[in-house]
Structure 1
Amino acid sequence: MRILGIDLAGKEENETGICILDGDKFSLSTIHTDKEILKLADKLEPSLIIIDAPLSLPKGRCCLEKECNCSVGGHFRQAERDIRSYGRVLPLTFKGMKMLTMRGIRISSQLKQKYNVIESHPRTSKRLLGYDDPVSCLSKFFRIPANLTMHELDAGLLVLTGFLYLQKLCIKLGDPNEGRIIIQDIKKCTGYTES
């Protein structure tokens, strides 16, 4: 089992957190550009890539610009509306979210040509597993180094969610025709995470 977690930044010059679970080897790092991400994926050939970024637009939208005729399509996908019962998420039309969404769509469309790619939300995953901070959560499952960035920690949470997803311990929020967010099925995970 090889899982690649990507805590994607909205801009290539900002830090993108990376986590790799390769068998029992767990590693975290930071990269920046789309080219680096695509090169890493091709080197790893992961069985699953899990990304913290919206990977699709709300139904009826061709972009996220408010001046466009498609803006009547709304600021959220059904997945964001569903996940709000677990915690707060930002509208895709906010400036930072708009950049992140467009980058997420761009990079995932390339990755999906070769790999199984899903979307998740690491902060929600952490809360669902009953932890206040990512270090405590990840330390229960993996040996993690000190002095990690928040982006690396979020990438680690993504890999944990990806692992649980492959064990069929997750649920899919949203409309399959619009884009889904994967989070833990807390009822199924309770016994698993307490063991």
Structure 2
Amino acid sequence: MAGSEKRNTGVAFFQKGIVKTFVVKSDGELMEICRGFRLIFVDAPLSIPKGRKNIDDRGEHFRECDRELRRRGIKFFPVTLGPMRQLTKRAINLKGLWESEGKRVYETYPGAFYDLMGVPRKDKQAILSFYRSFLKLEEKAYTQDELDAVACLVVGLLFNLGLHEVIGGEDGTIVLPKSQEALALLRGT
């Protein structure tokens, strides 16, 4: 998800067994697209560190889930870092709107997904090759935003199969794949 409606946000979902992707910009577009879904997996922080009243408040920079990512050697940007503040505000607002419609919204992180699956984060060809090994994708040029949206979709699929873990605590959680079990299933080994 982008921090601003001026930037692209990737969207991915299954339609007749094929992964459909595209980019949108506005919150209205996101709300409309998600109307038919009850589970939403978002590439954006959905909470702020414990002790902060809001994202602009001074205080702790890391949530428990962020500290766990750091312990695992997974690189990320803290939610309190400049542009991440705007993204966090937007994501928390959308989460509230989706939840008011009875949807369940989960935070995930494509960078961690790629790291756990052994795929270079910004190598589009490697990412596409990995996805094509177990998904039916449209034949088209993909943006990084769309590829990251597919990562969120795959984490959602693994979530439904019970091949996930939830890291974090009372100040927020991130859903990640159980790396070895998920990789074996996805690669068909």
Quick one: distance in 2 between partners of 1:51 and 1:148?
18
Partner SS, residue 21 of structure 2 = strand
Partner SS, residue 148 of structure 1 = coil
* Corresponding position of 1:186: 179
Contact 2:45 2:87 in 1 (8 A): yes
Cα drift, residue 23 of structure 1: 5.1
Any idea what the Cα deviations from partners look like across 1:91-123, whole Å, max 9, x if unmatched?
111111011111110001111222121110012
Gaps of 5+ in 1: 1-7
Aligned residues: 180
Question: Where does 1:107-146 land on structure 2 (aligned, <5 Å)?
Answer: 107-113=94-100, 114-132=102-120, 133=123, 134-144=127-137, 145-146=139-140
Contact 2:18 2:136 in 1 (8 A): no
The worse-fitting range, judged by mean Cα deviation, of 129-138 and 158-167 is: 129-138
Give the TM-score taking structure 2 as reference length: 0.89
Cα drift, residue 161 of structure 1: 0.9
Percent identity between the aligned chains? 27
Give the TM-score taking structure 1 as reference length: 0.87
Quick one: distance in 1 between partners of 2:140 and 2:73?
29
Any idea what the Cα deviations from partners look like across 1:159-186, whole Å, max 9, x if unmatched?
01110111000000100x2110010111
Partner SS, residue 141 of structure 1 = coil
Quick one: distance in 1 between partners of 2:78 and 2:119?
25
Q: Answer yes or no: is 1:55 the counterpart of 2:42.
A: no
Could you tell me which amino acid in structure 1 is paired with residue 95 of structure 2? Answer: S
The worse-fitting range, judged by mean Cα deviation, of 127-136 and 104-113 is: 127-136
The worse-fitting range, judged by mean Cα deviation, of 14-23 and 49-58 is: 14-23
Gaps of 5+ in 2: none
Q: Which runs of structure 1 show a deviation greater than 2 angstroms over 4 or more consecutive aligned residues? A: 143-146
Quick one: distance in 2 between partners of 1:30 and 1:23?
20
Partner SS, residue 76 of structure 1 = coil
